[in-house]
Amino acid sequence: MTFPTRLRAGRAAALMALMLLPVLDVPLASPQVPAQSLEALLVQRRLELRRAREEYEAAVAARNVMEGQWRAALEQASAARRSGDDEALEHAWAAAQERAGPFSAQEQRAAMAQDTVVAARRALVEVIQARLEQLLDELDAARSAREHAELDILFTDLRNELQTLDAEDEDGLSLRPVVLPDVQFDPRDGPEDYEVKAQLLERQAALVQSLAEDVTDRMRTLENRLRIQRQSSDLLANVDRFDDTRVPVVAGPPRGGVAADSTTAGGRPLTLEERIQELETYRAWLDDYRARLLQRAETFRRRIGRITW
């Protein structure tokens, strides 16, 4: 029995990750999905993520080229202004204007490629989580120490992969109050750059909003269950209080009553109240993160206004 602590920690990690990434459309977690299907899906999703990353890297490289050309035109314009060469300045502004369009388009392409990477990463995480859950069941059902050890290694590797992906995700669609690293103020940015960055932040805020709404829906479901459970408990407690259900006197605990609705997440069973509180904390964090994103986007837009003036 060398696995328990690690297993339970893994289960907790998997479930926490599942909680942090709730927008799942594919019902992978169904126990009916065979292990072979999930393994095949894992391979497919890894390939998709690899392709998405390659496309993103290509898009970023192309964007960097376009950015270099655009910045070169701006520098020429700056040099022409300093030298008082109006004709050269006119040519430089025209070149900068001409190169701004492709640069903006390439910027958008890079942003879209980044979204694709994020989506592919999420899709892979989803399958890994489902497979981890499946492995937990298989570990519980392992019939020999050898089979158990093999499954344990598989579980550990997969969990490490999940943690790596989560860490990568922190630089992209992190669910931490950190602004995207590439969305920073740059004194060389023009209005279009600010517009692109503001839109990027707003898109992320919209995604966070959808996550928050999903969490809210799940909280409502649990709160309804809690209300029903409490009303049931109220009836039993009120009739049991004065021993009306203990007619006649009996030895031992009275029967009847519904066991607390709880779930096990890497430890003791959690009560409905605890699950609701966890979601509540998570939603508050999402709201705060979204507010920060929008605030950041608004700052970019204000800068556009200053440049326009």
Partner 1 sequence: MRGGLAETARRALVLLAALATVPAGRAGAQVQVRDLVFTMGGSIETYSGNFSAVTVPIVDSTDHATAAVAELGVRGAVDLFRSRSRRVDLSFDGGMRQTAAIGFEVRDYAPREWVGSTSVGLNQAVGSWGSLFAQGSIRGRSVRDRPPMPLFLQPGYLAIRGSLGLQIPPIDGVSFDGRVDVESSDYRAFHLLGQLDLLDRTSTGLELGARWGGASTVRFYAGYRWTEYSKQPSFDAADPFRRDQTATVGVEWTYGGGVVAQLGLDGTLNRSNSNRPEYDALSARALLTAPLPGEFTVNLFAVLTGKTYVHETEFARLVPGEEADNASIAYLQVVRALAVNLDGAVRFGWARAETDIGSAYYRRFGLSVQLNYRPISF
| Residues at the interface with partner 1 (CB under 8 A) | 1, 3-5, 7-8, 12, 137, 140-141, 223-226, 228-232, 234-239, 241-253, 255-259, 261, 264-269, 271, 273-274, 276-278, 280-281
Q: Residue 154 or 236: which CB sits closer to partner 1? A: 236
CB 179 within 8 A of CB 292: yes
Closest contact distance (angstroms) between CB of 147 and partner 1 is 14
Residues in Cβ contact with 53 at an 8 Å cutoff, skipping those fewer than 6 apart:
117, 120
To partner 1, the closest distance from the beta carbon of 39 in angstroms equals 22
Shortest distance, CB of residue 9 to partner 1, whole angstroms? Answer: 10
Structure tokens at 252: 């031992």
**Closer of 27 and 248 to partner 1 (Cβ):** 248
CA 70 from centre of chain: 34
For partner 1, the closer CB: 43 or 284: 284
Of 187 and 247, which has the nearer Cβ to partner 1? 247
The β-bridge partners of 270 are 263
Q: Which two tokens stand for residue 138?
A: 């298989």
Burial of 113 (0-12, 13-18, 19+ CB in 10 A): buried
Q: Which is nearer to partner 1, 220 or 302 (CB)?
A: 220
Report the nearest approach of partner 1 to the CB of residue 104 (Å). Answer: 44
CA–CA separation, 202 and 198 (whole Å): 6
- Residue 49's H or E segment, with its range, is helix 35-83
**Minimum gap (Å) between residue 154 Cβ and partner 1:** 18
Decide: 158 and 132 in contact? Cβ < 8 Å: yes
Least distance to partner 1, CB of residue 17, Å: 15
Task: Return the number of the residue (152 or 193) whose C-beta is nearest partner 1.
Answer: 152
Nearer to partner 1, 11 or 99 (CB): 11
Q: How far apart are CA 306 and CA 309, in angstroms?
A: 5
Check: CB of residue 206 under 8 Å from CB of residue 23: no
Whole-number minimum distance, CB 286 to partner 1, in Å? Answer: 15
Rounded to whole angstroms, the Cα distance separating 77 from 99 reads 13
Dist CA 256 CA 125 (whole Å): 42
Closer to partner 1 by CB, 3 or 93: give it: 3
* 157 exposure class (CB count in 10 Å sphere: 0-12, 13-18, 19+): exposed
For residues 7 and 136, is the Cβ–Cβ distance under 8 A? yes
Instruction: Give the distance from CA 282 to its chain's centroid.
Output: 12
CB of 165 to partner 1, least distance (A): 23
